[in-house]
Structure 1
Amino acid sequence: MRLLLAQVSLLPETLSRKVTPWQLPSLAVRHGFQGVEWLDRLLPSLEPRALRRLGYMSREAGATDNALSLSIPYDADPGRLHRATQRCLALLEACPSLGVGAVRVDLARSGVNLGHLLEMVSSWRSHKYQGGDPLGWAGRLAYLVLARAGLARDRGHGTTPPPSPRAELDRAVRALLPLARKAADLGLALGVENHWGLSGRQDQLLYTIHQLREYGVGVCLDLDNFYGDQNALSGVAALAPQAVHVHYKAHAREAEAEAARLDYRARLGHLQRSGYAGMFSVEYDGPPPGLSGSTRAARVLREMWEGRSDGGC
């Protein structure tokens, strides 16, 4: 079983620079993880030289399995979509040197949302500075304020949206196509996450990846990204056969109690029956410290997956 520490689990610590990206691989390995899932906006730099250095430090630390999280604003205007696509393609090119084997992509909508807000704040700087520091001090400050106010975490949504028009689904497919081609060329497992909106309906997510089947695109299955009126267990059952990466979401310090309340063992059972053998990223969004919360969640996940309770991670 390969467990990854999601960088976003240490969001406050990262934004306040108590933990730097350069330290994260060794921290992850020391706490029983096999690698890190990087979030594009939290990378130390987008410059190829810096990313190669980060990959070298990961290998030196023993972080051999890593993933990357990207977003593509599929319904953005052509100019913004082009810039986002080029940014994603450049990061995909860097994946081999980063030691990344799996890539999660979110079909982000335009409008007022966290990603678009941070993009706008960060874009106030000249282009040459944006590559050296994805967020910049203003973006980092805005992100930190939102995080401390509890507004930077995805706590879920109540009601499933109505079906999207076929034209919107096809627009999402077109936005994903360049990424799918690049990932296939590089031998990367590309998974579209069930992440609200268009991808929050299982039928629409399955339609989207089916259109890209020749490139091996699958699902990045978040075990807790389901609307309040959806049956999460049925949702996992529908998506598990297409899963190429899994996000294990933890919201509370009491990892065992939360896993029991959410019936995670049953959700994992669908993955096991589908023959899933990929990586698991632990995403902790409970009270800090994030490393402790992630480690507890990873222990519980491993116990459920391997059917044991010896207390190890």
Structure 2
Amino acid sequence: MSSERVLVTGASGYLGSHIVQTLLNSGYNIRATARPSKVANLQASYTDVYNTEDSQRVQVAPISDLVHGEFPEIFEGIDALIHVASPLAGREDPDSTIKTAVEGTLNMLRQAEKAGISRIVVTSSIATVMNKVAETSDATIKDSDWSSALKEDVIKTGNPLLIYCFAKTAAEKAVWEFADAHPHVDITTINPPFLYGPFAPTQKFPTFDPSALSTVLLIHQIITPDGPFPPNADHTDVRDAAKAHVLALKAPPSSLVGRKRIFIASPHSLDFATITHFIAEKRPALKDRLTQTTPPTMMRDRAPVDFARIEQVLGLKKADFHDVEDTILETIDQLVGLEAIWKSAT
């Protein structure tokens, strides 16, 4: 078992929870951060399974202010950082969303570098290229591609999702500026599309909270009669995205493989008409509640990522990804189970 301890920010979220679980399964020790209100419950959920009097495999530490806070104590004894935490779409005004994404990320990088941490993985997004690589394009995404959206134009739209996409782009550009200024720090960004799949065991949902469901809400809408479909077919299983983050910790250094800006997505097709028929066939009890919305016609059925590059840097092969049918069914089965909990709480 590895004696390394990895610091994971945003550990109570959808992806963060899976990253912690994957790290634990891979033998790492964890120091997870979360908002102060979530620390006690999160610590208890891990302590019950992983911690003993002699071994504290999971420690949970509070961070109340990611942008301005100074917290050198959370970096003590840490070997690597996985920074997942990011402001959610629509939670703050546009300027605050963008500032929090950029300054919160830079604050973590600066403090990690000051503490002597030289391996850092940052969660970014495929949204950082999405109006560069058009919906109609089948050109493979390159690590030199960037969205060309302008801040003032995005803010004028008032669209929370577009503002979130710009915030992720601005934050990642700041990451690479930091990397250029600190070449002794080895940084990888993982850039996934929409994430689907079941929640990690530590995530609990006693009541229905759409914002807490993250992108799983898009799957819940498919089993809602008037629910919309996701805006595009780009996707990957959240467990595959988590695995990519963990594999990045042992990836070759940038000096050997170049800038490690890794776009990751499922190699499997996602066609919404096919998927709804598949759900009706495999889960006939849900047939009458499937969305009646007409499935959109997509110009592509998966994100055009470079799988050779993914394998070169992370060692993750196409065959290692979850099948989309399994991902969707496991997600829906868990959602149906949660609905029973939500119903009993009302």
TM range (shorter): 0.3 to 0.5
Structure with bigger gyration radius: 2
Structure number with the higher helix fraction is 1
Structure number with the higher strand fraction is 1
Return the TM-score normalized by structure 1: 0.35
Return the TM-score normalized by structure 2: 0.32
